[in-house]
Amino acid sequence: MRAVDALMECLKAEGVEVVFGLPGGANLPTYDAFYDAGIRHILVRHEAGGGHAAEGYAKATGKVGVALGTSGPGATNLVTPICDAMMDSVPVVFLTGQVRTELLGTDGFQEADTIGITMPIVKHSFMIQHPLEIPRSLHEAFHIARTGRPGPVVVDIPQDLSRADIPYEPVADVHLPGYQPTTDGNQKQIRIAAKALANARRPVIYAGGGVISADGAAELTELVTSDRFPVTCTVMGLGGFPAPHPQWLGMLGMHGTRTANYAMDEADLIVAIGARFDDRITGKLSEFAPRAKFIHIDIDPAEISKNVPAHIPIVGDAKNILPRLTAEYRALAADPTRLEEWWARIGTWQERHPLAYEDSRDSEIKPQYMIEALYEATGGEAIVTSDVGQHQMWAAQYFHFSRPRRWINSGGLGTMGFGLPAAMGAKVGCPEETVICIAGDGSVQMNMQELATCAQEGIAIKVFIMNNGYLGMVRQWQELFWDKRYSQVDMGSWPDFVKVAGAYGATGLRLEDKRTLVKDIQEAIALEGPVLVDVRVTREENTYPMIPAGQPARNMVG
């Protein structure tokens, strides 16, 4: 059969249900193969939208997402989603077309060195050099993407090789001698970690997105509740531990709660699980958690001691390690009263520094209230994606995620334009779920064209735009740190989002009254098909609390 038909057989064998892509000259043979393959293909309006949709699909389902682009600009349009997937450990296979082999290196039409361009931002990449390589390379790509620390894999296929006839035999197994991720964790290290936990007087469990990637939320909850351990999650880890819980301190980091950040600052032992001590968490690194010893559990050995030295490193899969750590800890029968003084201290912070804002006295919608209204309208039962900016942080603060894979956002790269196509991918992967995108008026315009995809494919996402007429987070920084010299952050009053929604085949609404907001949101969610809701909020509201960049957590403002 043709190599591209073999490619389709490989996708089926890997359980691929949907591919997000856009055809072009170099991947025309692949699109011809789609005609008879029986695999759902969703035609996106921009390759970046397809890449982020594949990410949203992967994050919501736990399966490998697939995005497809042609050579040259098709491939370079995928660079941002590839980098985003790398930063947030998202399993996506990116298939890119390439010019014919005789044109490689000649600056042929729509030629780009896709492998060279993406090499720093992939987990692995394959440049197909012979058509017989295609089946095994495809299976290896999926294996690498989903195992160990998940991540993006690029497969670049020259057009002439994809058209060649090959004898196809299914690949029964994948064995890569040079790629053997450590998953079990060292039992001696786990035992030492349990003893450290038993001796700690001021412990904090600090969980990141790796807990969700490992499907380890239940195991995390079991560890946390094996004693009265305080727990906090990163923005990527939200939902890894149920937010409405007495041991939950709230999110930590730049816009986390004072309680979570103060607890980290004064902890004597921090257990980091699937987290990488990002600068948005640590603030000024030299002053981060100065009293703490660190247990660091991560499947990627490169993360251990990268930013913060680990006193007790454990390399492996959180889902495997956490139950054993819990069992070892319980066997020690630690004194539960040792944590009472610590909880009294935490309780004081919670009482003095709750998440709060000054609500409006009239019908004006405060952005924080918009998130609270969304939470109330859905009962918390929705998959929520977001773009990047103030709305993202308010969503993380005020929408209380009780389960994993319900909160999908761009954490490490901070990609504006991520939310809408990610919601599209999440809805395709979880068609029975309510899927909401919380967007900013700046971010949403970066991939708004995918509303057309949603309309054509019947993908009923509900997009709520927090419209303050500004690039809000940049404006906040200019207000606080640049003497309110607002430079190029005013978005004006364009476009008319209601009209844009209609032009794309979606339903457009505008909401401006907080008194009816919950009911209005419920009615918008109940509408058929894709819906775009323009919610007008207070123009100059700041996201607090906040750790100023380069400052320690104890210097939070707001």
194/91 same-domain check: no
H/E element, 156: strand 152-158
Predicted local distance difference test score (pLDDT) of residue 549: 86
For 159-189, the pLDDT digits (tens) are 999 999 999 999 989 999 999 999 999 999 9
What distance in Å separates the CA atoms of residue 542 and residue 558, rounded to the nearest whole number?
9
Residue 415, in any domain of the structure: yes
Q: What is the DSSP letter of 379?
A: T
pLDDT recorded at residue 12? 98
Which of 43, 288, 59 shows the shortest CA–CA distance to 151? 59
Q: What are the tens digits of pLDDT across the range 491-500? A: 999 999 999 9
**Same domain membership, residue 371 and residue 347:** no
Do 496 and 527 lie in one domain? The reply is: yes
Q: What is the DSSP string of 308-371?
A: S--SEEEES-HHHHHHHHHHHHHHHT--GGGGHHHHHHHHHHHHHS-------SSS-B-HHHHH
Confidence band for 117, pLDDT divided at 50, 70 and 90? very high
Q: Is 197 helix (H, G, I), strand (E, B) or coil?
A: helix
Over residues 496-519, mean pLDDT:
98
What burial class does residue 321 get, using C-beta atoms within 10 Å of its C-beta: 0-12 exposed, 13-18 middle, 19+ buried? buried
**Domain coverage including residue 142:** 3-163
pLDDT the model gives residue 453: 98
Same domain flag for 128 and 272: no
Asked if residues 14 and 66 have their Cβ atoms less than 8 Å apart, the reply is no
Does the structure show a pLDDT above 90 at 355?
A: yes
What is residue 44's predicted lDDT score, i.e. its pLDDT? 98
Give the mean model confidence (pLDDT) for residues 353-365.
96
| 477-491 tens-digit pLDDT | 999 999 999 999 999
Taking residues 232-243, report their average pLDDT. 98
The C-alpha angle 185, 189, 193, rounded to 5 degrees, equals 115
> Which residue has 């919380």 as its token pair?
438
Own/partner contacts of 308-311, CB < 8 Å, gap of 24 or more, are 308/272, 308/277, 308/282, 310/272, 311/196
Which residue, 352, 376, 395, sits at the end of a domain?
352
Do the domain assignments include residue 173?
Answer: no
d(CA 244, CA 464): 24
More confident site: 550 or 220: 220
Q: Average pLDDT of 269-295?
A: 96
Average pLDDT over residues 524-537: 98
Percent of residues, the chain, with pLDDT higher than 90? 99
Please check whether residue 114 is in contact with residue 122, taking contact to mean a CB–CB distance below 8 angstroms.
no
Res. 429: pLDDT tops 90: yes
Distance set, CA 499 to CA 16, 392, 449, 533 (Å): 36, 25, 14, 11
Residue 387 and residue 328 share a domain: no
Is position 178 within any domain?
A: no
Distance of CA 27 to the CA centre of its chain: 29
Q: Looking at residue 242, what is its pLDDT?
A: 97
Instruction: Tell me the C-alpha distance between 432 and 459, whole Å.
Output: 11
- Average pLDDT rounded to a whole number, residues 211-238: 98
End residue of a domain, out of 322, 352, 382: 352
Query: Where does the pLDDT of residue 299 fall: very low under 50, low under 70, confident under 90, or very high at 90 and above?
Result: very high
| Residue 547: inside a domain | no
Q: With respect to residue 519, please indicate whether it lies within any of the assigned structural domains.
A: yes
Q: Across residues 465-474, what is the average pLDDT? A: 98
In a domain, 449, yes or no: yes
The arithmetic mean of pLDDT across residues 276-298, rounded, is: 96
| Nearest CA-CA partner of 384 in 368, 406, 411 | 406
Q: Is residue 91 part of a domain?
A: yes
| Shared-domain flag, residues 21 and 144 | yes
Whether residue 202 sits in one domain with residue 149: no
- DSSP for 345-357 reads HHHHHHHHS----
Q: Which long-range contacts (CB under 8 A, 24 or more apart) does 251-256 make?
A: 251/396, 251/397, 252/206, 252/281, 253/278, 253/280, 253/281, 253/547, 254/280, 254/281, 254/283, 254/546, 254/547, 254/549, 255/393, 255/396, 255/397, 255/543, 255/544, 255/545, 255/546, 255/547, 256/232, 256/545
Co-location of 348 and 381 in the same domain: no
550 pLDDT band (50/70/90 cuts)?
Answer: confident
Tens digit of each residue's pLDDT (9 = 90 or more) over 534-545: 999 999 999 999
- Quote the number of domains for the chain: 3
Q: Quick one: pLDDT at residue 319?
A: 98
Q: Cα-Cα-Cα-Cα dihedral of 382, 387, 388, 390, to 10°?
A: -60
CATH code at position 406: 3.40.50.970
- The mean predicted confidence, pLDDT, of the chain is 97
Residue 422 lies in a domain: yes
Is the domain of 210 the same as that of 342? yes
Rounded to two decimals, the pTM is 0.98
What percentage of the chain's residues is helix, strand, coil (to nearest 5)? 40, 15, 40
Task: Report percent pLDDT > 70 for the chain.
Answer: 100
324 and 373 co-located in one domain: no
Q: Do 10 and 117 belong together in one domain?
A: yes
pLDDT at 558 over 90: no
Domain co-membership, 203 together with 158: no
